[in-house]
Amino acid sequence: MITKLTGRILIVDDTPANLDTISTVLSDAGYEIAVATSGERALQNLERRSPDLILLDVMMPGIDGFETCERIKANSRICNIPIIFMTSLIDINNKIKGFNCGAVDYISKPFQEQEILARVKTHIQLNRLTQGLEQQVSEQTACLRMANEVLEQANISKRSFLSTMSQEIRQPIDTILRLTEQLQEQQYGTLNSQQVDNLEKIERNGTHLLSLINNTLKLANIESGQLKLDLDLIEIEDICKACLLAVKSKADQKNIKSILNVESPIPGISIDERHIRQIIINLLNNAVKFTSVGSVT
């Protein structure tokens, strides 16, 4: 069984015999045919309905095929319709001119039935594949845009939640630490050694919890692009010494040497000292934690 092909084709040629020949070939193959005898009539036809493919003669009175092609390609509504030129002009310059105008292919005169059918079928299929891919890309882009909007809204909600909860928790912890400090100063009476030890534990754990909350706020600010840096001119050697000193007790407990090796001179740099210090201390703590024997340099 022969499968009928489908699609609408506009044939533009000023020679009636050519129109009859090509129309018959393509109609028998199952295509819907529209015809125009000039470039002007072709443009009028395109205003009414867009075909899947245009077969366009080059040599015509009035506006020729090249100019007709250029006008079609200048119209955003119909510019994606594939155009195949029909011509007896076989020199390379005319072919290049046609491709520069926007044509996708050539059919040479005198016509060969199998060539017409093969080229028409190929370009209609290619155009439909292209349109399908463009539709898929458009749909996927829309889905991604929606997903990004949902994700952004979720991030906004998360940042708002983190900020609110951190503020709510930080206030009572500040109060606890303030009262602890007053008790340690024995403003409400003398303390025994057990009470002093317990207050030190409260202060140590409260300070640690407050640090975790502050880090949560920092993370929320970083993700929202609202983190503000306090930049100062800092000496590298000084900050490195301070960071090594901060982890020295942990290193001493494991008999690990802490070594500072600075290439001099190093000029000062503009950085946020508090954040850089925390980064270096975190790295050093990890180094001490995962070193069994030796040194951290």
pLDDT average per 10 residues of sequence, the chain (297 residues) = 70 93 92 94 92 93 92 93 87 85 89 90 90 88 91 81 75 85 86 88 82 74 71 88 85 90 84 85 91 91
Neighbours of 90 (CB within 10 A): 10
219: phi then psi, degrees, rounded to nearest 5? -60, -45
CA distance 108 to 101: 18
Residues 6+ apart with CB under 8 A from 153: none
pTM: 0.51
Tell which residue, 146, 210, 150, has the closest CA to residue 175: 210
List the domains of the chain with CATH numbers: 8-111 (3.40.50.2300), 145-223 (1.10.287), 231-296 (3.30.565.10)
Question: pLDDT (tens digit, 9 = 90+) per residue, 74-128?
Answer: 999 999 999 999 988 767 888 888 889 999 998 888 888 999 999 999 999 998 8
